[in-house]
Homo-oligomer: A and B are copies of this chain.
Amino acid sequence: MDETDELLSIRAAELYYEENKTQDEIGQALRLTRWKVGRLLAQAKQQGFIRIEILHPRARRLPIERRLREERGLDDAIVVSSAGVSGAEELQARTAQAAADYLTALRPVPRTLGVSWGRTLFDISQHLRNGWATGVNVVQINGGVSLNRRPGTAAATAVAIAQKGGGSATLLPSPAILEHLATKEAIESDRVVAGVIELARSADAYLFSAGPADHTSVHIESGYLGDRDVDLLVQKGAVGDVVGRYIDSDGNIVDPALDARTIGLTLDELRAGPLRIAVISGRAKHAVADAVVRSGLCSVLVTDEATALHLLDG
């Protein structure tokens, strides 16, 4: 397109999109045939001069979702729009809402849903409507009894999801990470705990998030790990954690000893699930989102636009 046509296409676009003139009227104004106007508008679009945004908290980016499915091999992807977002927490809320919407629309409705816990999962539980399902049983897939915070946020999440879905929750009564391997093995061999994990293994779907490998991690907040521990994990290549297990950028466990002291489904058990919905958003989680997708931990990803574009274009 030469200079003159480029300028004309902009003038035409202004009249078409801002003034709602017909292509015929624009032709008269610019002394062009209406066909020429149509072609100029097509060129303007094709050259990317026209940007159309949908400004709404529930808006999604379907073309990006398609690319995630096609280029990253996901079964499904939900990408919320970042258009007009004020701050990071708004993006979290939008993503949580989208995850809740996805769960609600999910067919067939899972009879047993395995869930992790954390800030993201809690948000999702809050965004779910009462009656989002009828009779969903929720089971925790990793340990989550908090050590120093008000106990029960993990439990509250699972219970809320279950109650609003007209079912009941099965809690995993255990800390996330134990200090000694022996303790972990003892807890794991407990009848109740073993039963819960067994139930978790057989869930129809998993819903989980991932945490960043930095000092904002919920594991530090909960007292399972110290700043020091996280620094060491990062040194070993950790980009974040999934169900309490720290992984590197390829999705491999970075510290097998630590992993052995972590209660809940293993990553391979998680990966064996038929439907694995990961909900991951925010700048800090770009790297771990990539690792989760790369290693096939999730089959469905709910995320924000910026994270999605990071996964696609680096």
Contacts and interface: CB of A to CB of B under 8 A. Distances in A.
Contact of A48 (B7, B13, B49, B55): B55
A17 B56 contact: no
A54 B7 contact: no
Interface string A45-72: 0001111111110111111000000000
Contacts of A50: 52-55
Nearest to A60: B14
Contacts of A48: 55
A54 B10 contact: yes
B52 A52 contact: yes
A15 interface: yes
Contacts of A190: none
A49 B58 CA distance: 11
A89 interface: no
Interface in A12-66: 13-15, 17-19, 44, 48-56, 58-63
25 contacts: A7-B58, A10-B54, A10-B59, A13-B54, A13-B59, A14-B54, A14-B60, A14-B61, A17-B52, A17-B54, A18-B52, A18-B61, A18-B62, A19-B62, A19-B63, A44-B54, A48-B55, A49-B56, A49-B59, A50-B52, A50-B54, A51-B53, A51-B54, A51-B83, A52-B52
